[in-house]
Every structure is written in structure tokens, then in C-alpha cells.
């Protein structure tokens, strides 16, 4: 007598399909995650205390029309602030985070 087994169906997650996903946060989510206003975030970017956003969309003229921040970068800045890092240490961290974006990128 043949036995019939039901195949196991496993739920598919984004991590299973694309294991190296690094989520991007739009500005309102960054504001919520940091507790900072839009103007404070951009002032910190100008001072080198927060990473620049990455382009995630362009308009018909090729200008960046949509931007976001890698979630791990926002988390790293938050962790550094919580740890009491100085502004100079934060600036070094920002340089490292932004430099890491190009690692493995083909020229």
C-alpha cells in the first residue's frame, strides 16, 4: 500500500530570498528612530555627524528625487550616541560607514 505524504510548505521570508538585504529608511522613519527633526538631521549631515542619504530614485532629469538611509547606519549612529561617543568619534564613524558603502562596488 502506497503512503501519501503532504509536502512541507515553509514560509518564505525576505531574508531567505535575498539574504543580504539592508533595509533603507525614508526620512520620517529616520526622524522617528533618532528623535531628531528634519532640519537637525541635515545640519548634522553638514557637520559630518550623520551619514548622507543614498539615492533610491531619480526624476526625469536624473536628479535624486528619493533618498533613504541604510538602517544599519542609523542604528550605528544611535548606538554611538547612547555609548557617549564624542562628536569627533561620531565623525570618524560616519566616514567609515559611508566608505563601506563602496566596498565591493565595481568601478
Name the residue ranges covered by the structural domains of the chain: 22-100
Instruction: Pick 22-100's CATH classification: 3.40.1000, 3.30.70, 1.20.1070, 1.10.1660.
Output: 1.10.1660
pLDDT tens string 18-41? 667 789 999 999 999 999 999 999
Sheet containing strand 54-58, edge to edge, reads: 24-25, 64-70, 54-58
Q: How far apart are CA 79 and CA 76, in angstroms?
A: 5
User: pLDDT: is 41 or 105 the higher one?
Assistant: 41
Amino acid at each position: 500500500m502506497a503512503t501519501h505524504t503532504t509536502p512541507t510548505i515553509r514560509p518564505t521570508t525576505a531574508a531567505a530570498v535575498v539574504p543580504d538585504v539592508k533595509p533603507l529608511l525614508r526620512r520620517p522613519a529616520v526622524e522617528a528612530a533618532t528623535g531628531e527633526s528634519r532640519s537637525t538631521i541635515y545640519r548634522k549631515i553638514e557637520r559630518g555627524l550623520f551619514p548622507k542619504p543614498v539615492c533610491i530614485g531619480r526624476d526625469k532629469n536624473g536628479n535624486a528625487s528619493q533618498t533613504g538611509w541604510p538602517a544599519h547606519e542609523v542604528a550605528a549612529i544611535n548606538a554611538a550616541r547612547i555609548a557617549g561617543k564624542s562628536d569627533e568619534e561620531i565623525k570618524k564613524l560616519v566616514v567609515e560607514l559611508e566608505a563601506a558603502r563602496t566596498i565591493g562596488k565595481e568601478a
